[in-house]
């Protein structure tokens, strides 16, 4: 888990030393231990923020690529429906 060292002293993590104010990959146990003492906080990446926003508001405008794909699919379905069936 990506977290930030909020303490004034460096920590020795399994992955190496995390200086004060730096971000590093913490194991779950390391983070829980340090967070209980208010010495670490989770870092939320831009990708995680975007994913959370998408979950909160799943209705969004389509991108041009999505619009094009939807139009192609609708046209193909209409064309298939207009074809006579010889069964």
Q: CA–CA separation, 74 vs 66, rounded Å?
A: 12
Q: Report the percentage of the chain scoring pLDDT > 70.
A: 92
Per the CB < 8 A criterion, the answer to whether 40 and 4 are in contact is yes
Please say if the pLDDT value at position 58 is more than 70. Answer: no
- Are 1 and 28 in contact by the 8 Å Cβ rule? The answer is yes
The model carries a pTM of 0.47
* Ordered DSSP codes for 6-66: -SSS-EEETTEEE-TT-EEE--HHHHHHHHHTT-EEEPPPHHHHHHHHHHH----PPPHHH
> How confident is the model over 24-50, as pLDDT tens digits?
888 888 888 888 888 888 888 778 887
């Amino acid at each position: 888990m990506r977290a930030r060292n909020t303490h004034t002293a460096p920590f020795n993590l399994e992955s190496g030393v995390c200086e004060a104010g730096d971000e590093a990959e913490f194991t779950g146990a390391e983070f829980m231990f340090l967070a209980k003492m208010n010495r670490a906080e989770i870092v939320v990446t831009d990708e995680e923020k975007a994913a959370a926003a998408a979950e909160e508001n799943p209705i969004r405008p389509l991108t041009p690529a999505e619009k094009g794909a939807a139009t192609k699919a609708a046209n193909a379905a209409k064309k298939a429906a207009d074809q006579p069936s010889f069964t």
